[in-house]
Amino acid sequence: MHSCKVIAMKALLLSEYRELELVEAPLPELAPDEILLQVEACGICGSDVHGYDGSSGRRIPPLIMGHEAAGVIAKVGSGVTDWGVGERVTFDSTLYCGSCPYCRRGEINLCDNRQVFGVSCKDYRRNGAFAEYLAIPARVLHRLPSELSFTEAAMIEAVSVALHAVSISKFRRGETALVLGAGMIGTLIVQALRVEGASHIFVVDPDKSRVDAAGKVGAHTPIHLGTDDTNSDVSGIVFQHYAQGVDHVFEAVGFGATVKTAINAVRKGGTVTLVGNIDPNVELPLQAVVTRQIRLQGSAASAGEYPRAIELLASKQIDVSSLISAVEPLSNGAAAFERLYRKEANLIKVILTPNVGNGD
């Protein structure tokens, strides 16, 4: 059992942009409906790296970032009855209110009062899980099966994002798909499509190692965007297999050029699901979208996919081991952020462990 008698904790504080410090912070105070989580693992998300340098505008310092986490309940609030000290849990990174019209429809990712752990913007500030402890409302908790390690559990949020994209696209078993981008989310979308029974999955990326890795976990045709001109026409390669184009394209990059590629490669009446969002504005080939009756579908975070993500990870139907590049103690957090910020080769996901030595 994990008890909580301390009054302070170690935390990785974004004190100013590009400045992370390991500090002593006060232990979070619990509201009646909250639990205190002893954090065992927390992944560094790409959005955290964009927040680190201020480019996203959603990590205004001072802030403790981190939202992809798992751990053990150290204490429960006075109003919590369904959870107990010592339980292994993760939590939905989206803190939804549960009562607005969107929440009542089950669209918790679109909650009018939505907050995200480890995010600070003009509307709200909520500290995250790059710390030894975190206070979390019980309504967003999920139990972890014993066969799922804390390190793997730190990937549940990313898996849920991929599952949500496939779900909202209305993909059907036996259909074909192209995934643009073989980073973490793109590779997880490939795995989600494989689980859902895609008949053919194409995946594209300029990084050959990422394309090859995506091929090992389910992509039938990995396409490396190299310097060779024959490899630069993604649509042409798709059309060699399917003259009309694929049923679905999942854009997991967020650039104008890849959005155009997505529209070019999908069949008439097909669906392009937009998951990446780096460029705030993109130029759209409007006539192609209208005359070919293409559906453009945005996909934001996840909405109820956590249980399925946990099930697929625990049963190894989705494998995240190849995506976890490094596991580091919280004390190495600043260095890990710099490595990701500099785009170190073959570095995809770094997991920070605030309580090193406690084990799984």
Domain of 275, CATH number, reads: 3.40.50.720
Residue 118 within any structural domain of the chain: yes
225 pLDDT band (50/70/90 cuts)? confident
SS3 content of the chain, % helix, strand, coil (to 5): 30, 30, 40
Residue 358 within any structural domain of the chain: no
Task: Please report the pLDDT score of residue 357 as a whole number.
Answer: 42
Task: Please report the pLDDT score of residue 7 as a whole number.
Answer: 78
6 pLDDT band (50/70/90 cuts)? low
Question: Are 322 and 217 within 8 A, CB to CB?
Answer: yes
Whether 18 and 67 map to the same domain: the answer is yes
| Domains identified in the chain, total number | 2
Write down the mean pLDDT value for the chain: 93
Q: For 130-170, write each residue's pLDDT tens digit.
A: 999 999 999 999 999 999 999 999 999 999 999 999 999 99
Residue 303 within any structural domain of the chain: no
Task: Please report the pLDDT score of residue 355 as a whole number.
Answer: 74
Whether 96 and 183 map to the same domain: the answer is no
Cis peptide bond N-terminal to 101, omega within 30? no
Question: Are 11 and 26 within 8 A, CB to CB?
Answer: no
The boundaries of the domain holding residue 61 are 8-155+320-353
Whether 141 and 179 map to the same domain: the answer is no
Q: Encoding tokens for residue 76? A: 């429960």
| pLDDT (average), residues 206-228 | 89
Whether 151 and 12 map to the same domain: the answer is yes
Whether 75 and 134 map to the same domain: the answer is yes
Whether 258 and 337 map to the same domain: the answer is no
Residue 359 within any structural domain of the chain: no
279 pLDDT band (50/70/90 cuts)? confident
Give all strands (DSSP E) within the chain, no chain letters. 8-16, 19-26, 34-43, 63-64, 68-76, 88-91, 94-95, 115-116, 119-120, 125-126, 133-137, 141-143, 176-180, 200-205, 221-224, 246-251, 266-274, 295-298, 324-329, 349-353
Whether 337 and 280 map to the same domain: the answer is no
Q: Is the pLDDT of residue 30 over 50?
A: yes
Whether 193 and 235 map to the same domain: the answer is yes
Whether 172 and 286 map to the same domain: the answer is yes
Task: Please report the pLDDT score of residue 230 as a whole number.
Answer: 42
Whether 171 and 193 map to the same domain: the answer is yes
Whether 216 and 333 map to the same domain: the answer is no
Tell me the whole-structure pTM to 2 decimals: 0.93
Q: Is the pLDDT of residue 360 over 50?
A: no
Whether 171 and 150 map to the same domain: the answer is no
Task: Please report the pLDDT score of residue 56 as a whole number.
Answer: 82
Q: For 50-94, write each residue's pLDDT tens digit.
A: 999 988 889 999 999 999 999 999 999 999 999 999 999 999 999
